[in-house]
Structures are given as structure tokens and as C-alpha cells.
């Protein structure tokens, strides 16, 4: 009498081993494709890169937003860790400049992350928790650099997403022809942040205004094909 094969063992995530393997392949493929081509790549292309059927992809990630959050979770954690690490720098100004440069470099290395930094994912709790942690640490970093007399007194947290949007625009326009042009932009921005050379600026945008701008930027990146 033939024996009945044992059921597939569950993985640490609660999925069967084969299902978890497919999940990992999908996330890895999405991370690679988003980094290379941006977030508007057809889901079918991601499934093909992962070596799974498109139905399998949609069962695991019914929405594009869910797949994006899964693909960039590790990078968002690195984003948050960069702010925490900057706080350990004994020179607050050096820590501030190093953080801005590092985040802009993360954008330059990953076309998808360029857009993710200006998007929100309300249903991805861990993803948004990492973003919140980064924001809190960056706020502290700003306060330390100002207290040291190095960062201009009128710098506000809303300036950082504005920097990222500016950097994203330069990257989009110059990546193929002048891939290092973004470094010059960041250099200009950091020089403008120095207290020693600060000149009066117009009032900054309010937090709600920047939030609306981020949502608008995300909508512009939203693909017209199936989510």
C-alpha cells in the first residue's frame, strides 16, 4: 500500500515551504526590476523574472503597493538605520551632511527607491514604522546641527523631502548621460544649508502641503495598466 506523502512543512512565516520560496523569488525579482526600471514595470514582467505564474504573484501580492512595500522593506530599514547612525557622529554637522549624501546616494543607485521615498503605504505597518523612526531621528539630527551653530536656523524637516524630489528630478534627467550630476546638486544644497553662508529664504511649505505634494508625485508614477 503506497504511503501518503507528508504535508509540506510550514516556514517561519507560516507559509508552506514551496509558497515561501515563491514569495522570496517574487520579492527578489521585484526588487531587481524596480531598481533597474522604476515602479511602473508590468507585473507580468516581474512574474516572468521570478519564474512564477502571474496568478501566483497576484495571490501573494494582490496590489502593486503591497509588492512595492515588500520589495523595499529592507531598503527602508537601511534608510532608517542611516539616520540612527548619523546621530552617533560626534560632529553634528558632519553627521547631517553625511546623512543627506547617503540618502541621495541610495536614490541614485535605485530608480525605484527614488519614487518610494515620496510615497506612503498606510497598510504596510513595519514599512511605515521604519519611515517614522527615520523621521524622528532626522528631526533630532537637525536640532543637534542647529545647536552646534552649523546648520542654518531656518532649516525644517519639510526641506528634506524637497531635496529628495529635486534629486529625483536630476536623476531622471541625467542618469544615462551624466550619472554623477546629482552629486553636484547635493553639494550645492549642503552649502546652502550651512549657517555660515545662510541668506534669508521664503517661508517653507507647511507639512500638509508637502504631504499633498508627495501624494501627487506618487500619482504621477502610478501606472495606467493593471495594479
User: Are residue 24 and residue 114 in the same domain, yes or no?
Assistant: no
Helices 159-174 and 207-221, axial angle in degrees (round to 10): 30
The string over 174-200, giving b where at least 16 C-beta atoms fall within 10 Å of a residue's C-beta and e elsewhere, is eeeeeeeebeebbeebbeebebeeeee
User: Are residue 134 and residue 168 in the same domain, yes or no?
Assistant: yes
> Which pLDDT does position 141 carry in this prediction?
98
Could you give the CA distance from residue 59 to residue 47 in angstroms, rounded to a whole number? 12
CATH number, residue 26: 1.10.10.60
CATH number, residue 108: 1.10.357
User: Are residue 142 and residue 63 in the same domain, yes or no?
Assistant: no
> Which pLDDT does position 224 carry in this prediction?
41
For the entire predicted model, the pTM comes to: 0.78
> Which pLDDT does position 181 carry in this prediction?
96
In terms of residue numbers, what domain contains 21?
17-70
> Which pLDDT does position 186 carry in this prediction?
97
User: Are residue 64 and residue 88 in the same domain, yes or no?
Assistant: no
User: Are residue 27 and residue 110 in the same domain, yes or no?
Assistant: no
Q: Could you give the number of structural domains in the chain?
A: 2
User: Are residue 124 and residue 50 in the same domain, yes or no?
Assistant: no
User: Are residue 200 and residue 103 in the same domain, yes or no?
Assistant: yes
User: Are residue 63 and residue 106 in the same domain, yes or no?
Assistant: no
> Which pLDDT does position 220 carry in this prediction?
56
pLDDT tens, per residue, the chain with 227 residues:
444 444 444 445 555 788 899 999 999 999 999 888 878 899 999 999 999 999 999 999 999 989 999 999 999 999 999 999 999 999 999 999 999 999 999 988 887 776 787 677 877 888 889 989 999 999 999 999 999 999 999 999 999 988 988 998 898 899 889 999 999 999 999 999 999 989 999 998 887 787 677 666 655 544 444 44
Q: Is residue 6 part of a domain?
A: no
Q: Which of 70, 100, 115 is the last residue of a domain?
A: 70
Q: Is residue 9 part of a domain?
A: no
User: Are residue 86 and residue 182 in the same domain, yes or no?
Assistant: yes
Amino acid at each position: 500500500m503506497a504511503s501518503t506523502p507528508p504535508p509540506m512543512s510550514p516556514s517561519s512565516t507560516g507559509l508552506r515551504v514551496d509558497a515561501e520560496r515563491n514569495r522570496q523569488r517574487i520579492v527578489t525579482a521585484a526588487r531587481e526590476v524596480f531598481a533597474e526600471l522604476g515602479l511602473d514595470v508590468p507585473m507580468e514582467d516581474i512574474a516572468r523574472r521570478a519564474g512564477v505564474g502571474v496568478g501566483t504573484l497576484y495571490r501573494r501580492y494582490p496590489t502593486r503597493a503591497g509588492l512595492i512595500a515588500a520589495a523595499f522593506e529592507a531598503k527602508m530599514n537601511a534608510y532608517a538605520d542611516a539616520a540612527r547612525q548619523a546621530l552617533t557622529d560626534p560632529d553634528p554637522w558632519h553627521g547631517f551632511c553625511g546623512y543627506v549624501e547617503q540618502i541621495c546616494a541610495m536614490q541614485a543607485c535605485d530608480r525605484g527607491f527614488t519614487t518610494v521615498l515620496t510615497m506612503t503605504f498606510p497598510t504596510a505597518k513595519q514599512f511605515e514604522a521604519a519611515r517614522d523612526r527615520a523621521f524622528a531621528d532626522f528631526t533630532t539630527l537637525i536640532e543637534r546641527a542647529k545647536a552646534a551653530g552649523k546648520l542654518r536656523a531656518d532649516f525644517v524637516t519639510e526641506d528634506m523631502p524637497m531635496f529628495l524630489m529635486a534629486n529625483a528630478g536630476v536623476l531622471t534627467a541625467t542618469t544615462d548621460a551624466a550619472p554623477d550630476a546629482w552629486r553636484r546638486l547635493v553639494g550645492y544644497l549642503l552649502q546652502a544649508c550651512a549657517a555660515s553662508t545662510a541668506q534669508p529664504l521664503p517661508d517653507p511649505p507647511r507639512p500638509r502641503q508637502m504631504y499633498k505634494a508627495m501624494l501627487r508625485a506618487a500619482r504621477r508614477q502610478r501606472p495606467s495598466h493593471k495594479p
